[in-house]
A and B are shown apart, each in its own frame.
Chain A
Amino acid sequence: MTGIQARFKIDWAKFKLDVDLHLPNQGITAIFGHSGSGKTTLLRCIAGLERSQTGHLTVSGEIWQSEQHWRPTHKRGLGYVFQEASLFAHLTVMGNLLYGRQRISGHEKISLEQAVELLGIAHLLDRKPEKLSGGERSRVSIARALAANPSILLLDEPLAALDYPRKQEIIPYLERLHGELHIPVLYVSHAADEVARLADHLVVMDNGRALSSGPLTEMLTRPDLPIRLGQDAGAVFEAIVAEIDDTWHMARVEFTGGSLWVGNQRLSIGSKIRVQVLAKDVSLATALPSKTSIQNILQGQVGSIANDEHPSLALVRVQIGNTMLLSRITKKALASLNVTIHQKIWVQIKSVALMEG
């Protein structure tokens, strides 16, 4: 059995958790939800830091928890990054990295040098944690978890304690992990933008339950779920840079179903990028609009229509090739255009955000 099978049931006076999940064995799985939705508790159950009354957990074929069996945290072969960096104050950065490193056995998946290099902390090794900035501490704590040669990496809102510039400093490192690590990563977050940038697979938690679990690109365009993402509802998909127009500083990116013009930001032809299109930036038209400032107009088919948070708004899912886009329009517009399911429709995209691939 591959992947992660996790079934937990907790029934505390103030908190309940009841999940039964099958998560992929590779890539980044985001566990998304409001605070108090149970996402951190789920991660702690997987790590063995919390013990659920009943539960079953299998990671890459190894049983970590069952009715008869409980494997303590220190024998689980995982890496865990806590919300606060939680470095050992009595050790240097190197001492922190070596703490887990010295206690591992078995096949080495990540070398110490690789962990240091991936997080860019080679110049910090001799320092004490008190002499590091907040962002540096976060990077060291991620490197420390990697240096312990984990077969799964668990990240509990590693960016939550950081201010905006520090977050922007760390995210590129997390994106590198995504590209270079071959272990599954579970990433707990309540920030939709982080999830959209990093995740391949998404679990949405609410009230101790997993509302849904599936590939990110599918999940973000499910009209019954984006409500949880609020203003950040939208679609994320991969595209390849196909053409660069130096006159207008634009680039054309191709995805399965069409292509989009985006502002060129040092892109090179052939490179793979992630594109985010927010639902609020997508409008619909029943005929091909002419004389419009909008450059990206595509034809698609209406997949589904759902209510949005506000009673005046609707979320329409439009399929373009294999790619799903979300459009947030008013119900009044929906009625006057007479939009129905399976109808062919023109999609106008006002803005596209690029993320690293």
Chain B
Amino acid sequence: MILLTDSDIQAILLTLRLAGVVTLILLIIGTPIAWWLARTKVWWKSPVGAVVALPLVLPPSVLGFYLLLAMGPNGPVGQFTQSLGLGLLPFTFWGLVIASVFYSLPFMVQPLQNAFEAIGDRPLEVAATLRASPLDAFFTVAMPLARPGFITASILTFAHTVGEFGVVLMIGGNIPGITRVASVQIYDHVEALEYMQAHSLSAVMLIFSFTVLLFVYIWQPSAKKWK
């Protein structure tokens, strides 16, 4: 039986909002990065690729620690946001968004990069011979052909942001309604020995994660005909 308290539901809604915003931002930032990585032949492509992939192997607490320093009162980002009159980002929703964008970056960039690489040069050359400028060809040929890649990348980014914990604790702390996401809420329940509550919320997360992955795996085969 699944019983959720109001604060559980608040945590879930906050989690979904965070994941949604991060996915949208990463679609805008990640697409040009993935496109560049897929197309460029410059030697420093590999270092850039490695930096993008860093969050895959780095402990989230390490990433969170550096971001906390950078966004803190003495960090460069913190000084910048203060000079703009925005205050400090740590322990705010938008601080969490920025941290999550870094944390989930590879989950957006890598599937997109693979999709763009699979398209190859030819369709873009064809588009050029049919009078399409490079930007025109990107929107009318590359994006439609990479559609399965966009769907996979968005789902993985969303799901990965939902599952975030270490970075959230570092940057966001545990403020109800602002930074207390579902994973932190479960941690709180366990800390308070509310095992029943932890069970309920964990079950919701488990079902969510499985459904998402199932959808990704079902989608993959049909993706092939587009390539």
Set of chain B residues within 8 Å of A99, measured between Cβ atoms = 127, 130, 132, 140
* Chain A contact residue count (CB 8 A cutoff): 25
Partner of A90, one of B122, B132, B145: B145
Set of chain A residues within 8 Å of B129, measured between Cβ atoms = 47, 49, 73-74, 78-80, 100, 145, 148
Q: Hey, what's the 0/1 contact readout for B108-146 against A, CB within 8 Å counting as 1? A: 000000000000001101111111111011001100110
Partner of B125, one of A82, A103, A148: A82
**Nearest CB of chain B from residue A186's CB, rounded to whole Å:** 13
A-B pairs under 8 A by CB, number = 66
Q: Is B41 an interface residue (CB 8 A)?
A: no
Q: Is B226 an interface residue (CB 8 A)?
A: yes
Q: Is A222 an interface residue (CB 8 A)?
A: no
Q: Once the chains are docked, how many angstroms separate the CA of A345 from the CA of B191?
A: 109
**Which of A48, A77, A99, A148 has the largest number of chain B CB atoms within 10 A?**
A99
- Tell me if B131 and A104 are in contact (CB < 8 A): yes
Q: Is A144 an interface residue (CB 8 A)?
A: yes
Set of chain A residues within 8 Å of B225, measured between Cβ atoms = 89, 130
**Nearest CB of chain A from residue B53's CB, rounded to whole Å:** 29
Set of chain A residues within 8 Å of B137, measured between Cβ atoms = 74
**Nearest CB of chain A from residue B47's CB, rounded to whole Å:** 25
- Tell me if A73 and B126 are in contact (CB < 8 A): no
Interface size bracket, B side: 20 to 34
Set of chain A residues within 8 Å of B136, measured between Cβ atoms = 74, 103
Set of chain B residues within 8 Å of A104, measured between Cβ atoms = 131
- Tell me if B128 and A49 are in contact (CB < 8 A): yes
- Tell me if A49 and B144 are in contact (CB < 8 A): no
Q: Once the chains are docked, how many angstroms separate the CA of A101 from the CA of B198?
A: 61
- Majority-rule SS of B interface residues: helix
- Tell me if B126 and A74 are in contact (CB < 8 A): no
- Tell me if A144 and B226 are in contact (CB < 8 A): no
Smallest Cβ-Cβ distance to A75: which chain B residue: B131
Set of chain B residues within 8 Å of A48, measured between Cβ atoms = 128
- Tell me if A90 and B226 are in contact (CB < 8 A): yes
**Nearest CB of chain A from residue B55's CB, rounded to whole Å:** 32
Q: Hey, what's the 0/1 contact readout for A76-102 against B, CB within 8 Å counting as 1? A: 011110101010111000000001100
Set of chain B residues within 8 Å of A84, measured between Cβ atoms = 122
Q: Once the chains are docked, how many angstroms separate the CA of A48 from the CA of B147?
A: 28
Q: Once the chains are docked, how many angstroms separate the CA of A84 from the CA of B126?
A: 11
**Nearest CB of chain B from residue A144's CB, rounded to whole Å:** 7
- Tell me if A89 and B122 are in contact (CB < 8 A): no
- Tell me if B131 and A89 are in contact (CB < 8 A): no
Smallest Cβ-Cβ distance to A150: which chain B residue: B129
- Tell me if A144 and B128 are in contact (CB < 8 A): no
**Which of B130, B133, B225 has the largest number of chain A CB atoms within 10 A?**
B130
B residues bordering A, Cβ < 8 Å?
122-123, 125-134, 136-137, 140-141, 144-145, 147, 225-227
Closest 10 CB pairs of A and B: A100-B130, A103-B131, A80-B129, A73-B128, A90-B144, A74-B128, A86-B126, A74-B131, A148-B130, A99-B130
